[in-house]
Amino acid sequence: MKFRAANLLVHQKLAKASEVTCTGTNEYFGFGTPCDNECAKLSKQNQTNCPFVNVKRTEMCYCEEGYARDVNKTCIPFDKCPKNCDQDDENNNEDNDNGVQKFTEGNVDFTESFIYVASQLDPEVSAIYSPFSLLFLLAQLALYASGTSLDELLSVLNISKSSIRSTIPYYLTELNSQENATFSLAERIYASIEFKLNPCFEKDTRDIFFAEAQNVNFSNPTEAADIINQWVANKTNNLITDLVPPDSLSRNTIVVLVNAIYFKGTWEKLFKTENTKKGDFYVNENKNVTVNMMNQIESFKYADIPSQGVQVIELPYVNSNFSYLVLLPKLKDGLSKVLEQLRNKTNSVLQDAISKLELNRVNLFLPTIDTTTTTDLKDVLQKLNVSAIFDSSTANLNSISDDPTIKPFVTSALQKATITVNEFGSEAAAGTAIVVGVTSAQPAPSIEFNADHPFVYFILYKGTPIFGGIFAG
């Protein structure tokens, strides 16, 4: 009864309420403090987040006594409000720096494994993926998963359930604040209109992942696909369209994970367009195609790794946090061996390559790239031992729902990624240096790096992969 007395001190119903219509349910027109009870802010002590003493008073629509507004601004009974959206199922003894390091290590392992599996599902084609961005969607599910699903998701993420809340916002904030690079990441979770989302799930989606969860009518596949595709197009400046085909949706669809990502960086050392020539690219020993081959002789970080049978080169972008790294097999048909090595769990091919890079003068031949890839993530994830979330009997994603009778599971997971690599990217500036010498010296001999056959490449952010792909001509 303590709360009821407190609530009456804050708001007073007005006699003229009959003249004013509050459109929401369980509301009244009153006079009091310019605040209203909200589920997300309810105090454990007195079940109200409005002050008892106020200076400014206003006329407005308030929730009835014993009600508070949920994330949809609807007045619902206190006992229907989530108890504590920030409560974790475990103690968080892991500091943020350690969480970030473990998440980064997990991302490297996941990216290498992802590229290998995806390449086996669709061999000998050029492709671009962003396993890194997919991890954010999986982390969204992990917060509300249990049982086998949770175990599988946390194994991929490589961090505890509780540290997701600090690690994920760190990455998203950093990436979204980058300059001198076009980076667009769009992600969302769509649920059936008959599926009531847990308000805490919606809140965490918004506050931790800077994304939204939305209900759509999957019984109208064309309309639902249009809603999803329009949102993705808007988030990517129309660079990514038609992500979800209508025939992939049906009235039986419950939840759809959508992820769209775009990156375009400007080389720190631009290629001259006049040096780009048509050249042969050897898809395999028996087939070659013609590509636009860029060329420049410059100093780049380079490594020759005989044990892996690869040459490695790293090209920095103007934003030095980003770089482009190529693993080029020494043999024209050596791609399969490099991909096999990506499965090595005891020694990361990527991290080993980065550790061996040294500055060298390189005669670089690199093809232009314009690749867009749509990936059925369900196929890839199941081969990476993330399968429980796709089965209604094992998903254990019930906490996503506000209705305990509904047992949601993931029915579709799609990703569309695009990358452009060419000579351009931004307006260039000139620099002049005066060199004083006694004789005219010849430049040091250059190492040849001729990417005229299939190779693996990565877009790195501070050494961790945010994209990974294959160029096969």
Q: What is the SS3 string spanning 100-125?
A: HHHHHHHHHHHHHHHHHHHHHHCCCC
Judge whether residue 94 has pLDDT over 80: no
pLDDT of residue 309: 92
pLDDT of residue 166: 83
Digit-coded pLDDT (tens) for 222-259: 998 999 889 888 877 777 788 888 888 888 777 777 77
Instruction: Specify the residue for token string 């972008």.
Output: 317
Q: Residues near 427 by Cβ (< 8 Å), separated by ≥ 6? A: none
Digit-coded pLDDT (tens) for 342-385: 887 777 889 899 999 999 999 999 999 888 888 888 899 999 99
Mean pLDDT of 299-319: 93
pLDDT of residue 136: 85
Helix or strand (DSSP H, E) at 440? none
> pTM of this prediction?
0.76
pLDDT of residue 400: 84
Q: Which among 21, 411, 462, 119 is positioned nearest to 255, based on CA atoms?
A: 411
**Domain 96-107+132-264+374-420 adopts which CATH fold?**
Antithrombin; Chain I, domain 2 (3.30.497)
pLDDT of residue 156: 87
Judge whether residue 198 has pLDDT over 60: yes
Where do the H-state alpha helices sit in 122-163? 131-142, 147-157
Judge whether residue 392 has pLDDT over 60: yes
346: tokens are 């005891």
Q: Tell me if 60 sits within 8 A of 30, measured CB to CB.
A: yes
Q: Is 182 exposed, middle or buried (0-12, 13-18, 19+ CB in 10 A)?
A: middle
Cα–Cα distance for residue pair 135/457, rounded to 1 Å: 19
Mean pLDDT of 41-49: 54
Q: Tell me if 340 sits within 8 A of 204, measured CB to CB.
A: no
pLDDT of residue 428: 22
- Beta strands 277-284; 322-329: pairing state: unpaired
Mean pLDDT of 274-284: 92
Cα–Cα distance for residue pair 16/20, rounded to 1 Å: 7
pLDDT of residue 457: 94
Name the pLDDT band for 191 (thresholds 50, 70, 90): confident
Digit-coded pLDDT (tens) for 111-159: 999 999 999 998 889 998 989 888 888 998 999 999 999 999 999 888 8
220: tokens are 């109208």
Instruction: Report the DSSP beta bridge partners of residue 450.
Output: 365
258: tokens are 């959508």
340: tokens are 């096999």
Mean pLDDT of 63-91: 73
Q: What is the CA radius of gyration of the chain?
A: 27
Phi, psi at 115, each rounded to 5°: -60, -40
- Beta strands 455-461; 464-471: pairing state: antiparallel
Can you say whether residue 158 is alpha, beta or left, with left for phi > 0 and alpha for psi between -120 and 50 degrees? left
Cα–Cα distance for residue pair 293/471, rounded to 1 Å: 13
pLDDT of residue 299: 92
Name the pLDDT band for 23 (thresholds 50, 70, 90): confident
Judge whether residue 389 has pLDDT over 50: yes
For residue 17, the Cα-to-chain-centroid distance in whole angstroms is 48
pLDDT of residue 408: 81
pLDDT of residue 280: 93
Judge whether residue 55 has pLDDT over 90: no
Digit-coded pLDDT (tens) for 416-457: 887 888 875 322 221 111 122 223 344 455 789 999 999 999
Residue range(s) in the chain whose domain bears CATH number 3.30.497.10: 96-107+132-264+374-420
pLDDT of residue 96: 64
